[in-house]
A and B are shown apart, each in its own frame.
Chain A
Amino acid sequence: MATWDLSDLEYWDAKIRERVEALGLDCYPQEFEMCNHTDMLAYMGYSGMPTHYPHWSYGKAFEKLKTLYDYGVSGLPYEMVINSSPALAYLMRDNSLCLQILTIAHVYGHNDFFKNNFTFKSTRAEFTLGTFKAHAERVRGYMEDPSIGADRVENILDAAHALSLQRRRNLAIRKLSEDEHRERLLQDAEPAPDPFQALHRRTEYVQPDLQRLPLTPEPDLLLFIAEHNPYLANWERDLLEIVDEEARYFIPQIETKIMNEGWASWVHREIMSSIDLPQELYLEFLVRHNQVVRPTPGGLNPYHIGLKLWTDLKEGHEASGMAKLLEVRETDRDVSFLRRHLTEEAMRELDLFQYEARGDDLVVTGVSDEDGWHDIKEQFLRSVGMGSMPVIEIVDADFGRKRTLYMVHQHDGRDLQLENAEKTLAYAFRLWGRECVLETVVSGKRTMLTFNDRGFSAKSLK
């Protein structure tokens, strides 16, 4: 059993908080909750939320985590922090004192990041727990409503979950209203002022199509369907909005995984080496720390990469103290952070390589040497954060005058996985209620994937 009690934690917490303030971090109020490993697995299954609407996929996630844990394939995280105000973190009661101290320090790093990074500005942390609770209540309400029932709710949630990440990624950019879009289209249609008008032939004015729906390509699939499918019931529309709002809440975390974990790791290392830990605790800390931040061969460990970059950054700006670091943690997300700070040298030290599928094997096709590093970096940047999800936009909701939903995949060299595309398109069809078409590129050929009441079909376009 544990050799510590809450007063030990409070003692070390006070010391840690001194250091947090000295580093210039700016945190939400912090709450820690002790839990056991089953609770921790359950929190993980439900993305950390103490209340969450029910869906079988969370049961599946839990079972999977539990199996991996029971068989010793993967351990449990030492901590889990929720982006909310006050920030809520869970500590596992079976962990050693050293791990608790490390975790507490780490949590303050996340807390500071949540509060200050620009991508989180739109998540409204003070409402997080309340929002999730309200969602859960509404969904349960629909499930218990005898005129709706659990099966129909599940039917919609299944489909909505499949499309949830097909939405705007950059939450710092305001979504324009329809009127603003219209105005902008009209403005853009005006010929640009030409100082040599007398010499040039007059550019012809092309009337923009203001009847078109959507006016400009629309990436928010769920919201668009909720708004423009007139046959959806109110509860169905509400479910789509709930799922979308949740996806929106998690996008900043997806977008800053490397920065955020790196930052928290940097902060905990900084704190742990300056609070006069007794030697045996400090030695244990070194071991634990290295377990967390070591590279995972073949994969990408965000803790390791993040910590490395933050460390380099600090070394490069030693003169300015913490100012540079605090600025960067506020204004960057993974893509920009890596673009700016992942140098050729750092890449070599991290031993980043590029691999491709050759038959059944994944084979290294390039390493971060003088010729290769630039390509690999581009490759890497493309896939971090939401870059790991394809961009798909609705371009026409009345294609062929048949209310067919026409979507285009912004192909960037990476093909879609076709089985997934087929199944997901079926979900889109379930929500839209009419034919859904996805234009994409398959092995270099423009292809139209269609799902309608006759099922799935694919055809190449010339």
Chain B
Amino acid sequence: MPTSIFRPFRASEAERSDRTAGDRLRHRQKIREAIRENIADIIAEESIIGKSRDRIIKVPIRGVREFRFVFGDNAPGVGQGDGDSQPGQIVGKAKGEGQGSGDKAGDQPGVDYYETDVTLEELIEIMFEDLDLPDLERKALRQIEALRFNKRRGYRQVGIRVRLDKQRTVRSRLKRKAAAKRAQEREAALTGTPVAPDTRRFPYHDKDLTYRHKTTEIRNESNAVVMCIMDTSGSMDTMKKYLARSFFFLLYQFICTKYRAVEIVFISHHTEATEVTEDEFFYKGESGGTFISSGYQRALDIITERYHPSLWNIYAFHCSDGDNFDSDNTAALQAASELTDICNLFGYGEIKPLGSRYYESSMLNIFRRLDADNFQTVLIERKEDIWPSFKAFLAKERTAD
């Protein structure tokens, strides 16, 4: 028998050859794809409103399992006990229940994981990966993080050479020199010896060096604003509000994820409209009648006040159940048409939980008269519709391309 060969370990080689990298990357891509495919389900299933972004969500993954023809569990199997197995003893869990956890994970071949954990934040990131606010480029300039250097923030004793403040440094040395001289004189006065003229050099000390301190200031210059207008009237029952809020929650998360510098305005309305904070918008209930025009008017007012349409990209989204007072319809239509004139995109989502559609009035019919490219309506009947309608709003511009 020939001698065996022992080849020593070579670290450099081992590090160079991370050959799993490509395949791991592809696997992870597949997980992401699978999550994205299931996002509509996930959103419908999880009430994600107001959940912390660190929250972990279990996401079923169908795409990354490998399949073969295998046996089910209708026939008995054979196992090995610890010496005194008795009939009736429970030795494990049947497939599909609690597999892959605990100490058994390693020795159960063929059991694939069905679920993966992602945080809400990751999920949101995946969801919005290929969505954009349509048309953000139209009004040029500024979705810019403007960096301003040279903002002075006082002086420090440490810094880089170019920021050395010579004047202050010299002054500091002179002060020190004067102080030293005075100390000498006082000492001389006490002891009665005459002051010897000091011929020694009085050099700069580290403490004299004074540097200008500057900070980099980032100023966000944004020119996009999103107006979220929600109907909070009495006819918006819990379910409708839930749907509307889910929609706005997605929109809000989307904007926060993608556009750090976009401004968001929250308006809730019944017969009157008020600008509210984010918290109030998502959590506060109200009641009363409905004048949709009030919400639009408020939005228009805010726009005139703060966001001049020639400089700002304006996006307005409105969710309502469409149960408007008849008398207000003309005004609403009028205001909506004004909004479409100045907005890049104006979206109207009508929330009609299944069935209620037939006996309640609808704004969809009225808005049909509004003929503008940048006006978009969707109907949300159940929670499964939220994601598709959300996408429909944001995808409008691109499909037109």
Contact = CB atoms under 8 A, between A and B. Distances in A.
Interface string A162-194: 110110000000000000000000000000000
A363 B91 contact: yes
A352 B1 contact: no
Nearest to B84: A351
Given A62-B20, A162-B66, A34 B8 contact: yes
A427 B80 CA distance: 35
Given A32-B6, A35-B14, A383-B78, A351 B72 contact: no
A274 B87 CA distance: 42
Given A351-B81, A364-B87, A379-B77, A74 B72 contact: no
Contact of B71 (A74, A353, A415, A443): A415
A59 B25 contact: yes
Contacts of A380: 78
A420 interface: yes
Given A32-B6, A352-B79, A361 B86 contact: no
B76 A379 contact: yes
Contacts of A45: 20, 23
B199 interface: no
Contacts of A161: 66
B87 A366 contact: yes
A415 B72 contact: yes
A68 interface: yes
Most chain A C-beta atoms within 10 Å of own C-beta, residue among B8, B14, B71 = B71
Interface stretch (B103-111, B317-325, B346-354): B103-111
B24 A62 contact: yes
Contact of A443 (B14, B74, B97): B74
B164 to A, nearest CB: 50
A56 B30 contact: yes
Contacts of B74: 357, 414-415, 443
Contact of B67 (A62, A413, A423): A423
Given A59-B26, A352-B80, A416-B72, A34 B7 contact: yes
Given A162-B68, A389-B68, A30 B5 contact: yes
A130 interface: no
B192 interface: no
B73 interface: yes
Contacts of A443: 74
Given A59-B26, A74-B106, A35 B9 contact: yes
Contact of A59 (B23, B79, B91): B23
A166 B74 CA distance: 21
Contacts of B7: 31-34
Contacts, number: 238
B22 interface: yes
A9 interface: yes
Contacts of A301: 80
Interface in B83-131: 83-95, 97, 103-107, 113
B75 interface: yes
B359 to A, nearest CB: 38
B8 A63 contact: no
Interface string A284-300: 00000000000111111
B23 A54 contact: yes
B384 to A, nearest CB: 21
B327 interface: no
Contact of A38 (B14, B66, B77): B14
Interface string B40-77: 00000000000000000000000011111111111111
B80 A62 contact: no
Interface residues of A, number: 92
B70 to A, nearest CB: 5
B88 A364 contact: yes
A364 B14 contact: no
Residues of A contacting B: mostly = mixed
A201 to B, nearest CB: 44
A31 B4 CA distance: 6
Contact of A354 (B20, B26, B76, B92): B76
A6 B3 CA distance: 14
B24 A59 contact: yes
A60 B64 contact: yes
A379 B80 contact: no
A39 B20 CA distance: 10
Contacts of A34: 6-9
A326 to B, nearest CB: 16
A79 to B, nearest CB: 13
Given A73-B106, A93-B9, A359-B94, A300 B78 contact: yes
A17 B30 contact: no
* Highest count of chain A CB atoms <10 Å: which of B7, B19, B92: B19
B77 A416 contact: no
Contact of B69 (A30, A58, A424): A424
B2 interface: yes
B89 A363 contact: yes
A58 B95 CA distance: 24
Contacts of B1: 17, 20-21, 27, 29
Nearest to B4: A30
A402 B75 CA distance: 35
A127 interface: no
Contacts of A58: 20, 23
Nearest to A58: B23
Contact of A364 (B25, B89, B93, B113): B89
A367 B76 CA distance: 12
A361 B77 contact: no
A414 B72 contact: yes
A27 B70 CA distance: 36
Nearest to A372: B87
Given A9-B6, A296-B107, A364-B89, A59 B27 contact: yes
B82 interface: yes
Given A32-B6, A424-B68, A73 B75 contact: no
A457 interface: no
Given A34-B6, A56-B30, A60-B27, A352 B73 contact: no
B39 to A, nearest CB: 21
A299 B106 CA distance: 11
A14 B1 CA distance: 11
A420 B91 contact: no
B107 to A, nearest CB: 5
Contacts of A9: 6
A57 B28 CA distance: 11
B103 to A, nearest CB: 7
B70 A420 contact: yes
A8 B68 CA distance: 46
A140 to B, nearest CB: 10
Contacts of A388: 71
30 contacts: A6-B8, A13-B6, A27-B1, A31-B6, A34-B7, A42-B19, A46-B19, A59-B26, A59-B27, A60-B64, A62-B20, A63-B27, A74-B105, A298-B81, A298-B92, A300-B78, A304-B80, A351-B85, A352-B78, A352-B79, A352-B80, A354-B78, A355-B91, A360-B97, A361-B92, A361-B94, A362-B77, A379-B78, A417-B73, A419-B67
Interface of B: 1-9, 11, 14, 18-20, 22-30, 64-95, 97, 103-107, 113
Given A74-B107, A427-B67, 12 more contacts: A14-B3, A29-B5, A39-B14, A56-B26, A59-B24, A162-B67, A298-B79, A352-B78, A352-B81, A355-B91, A358-B94, A379-B76
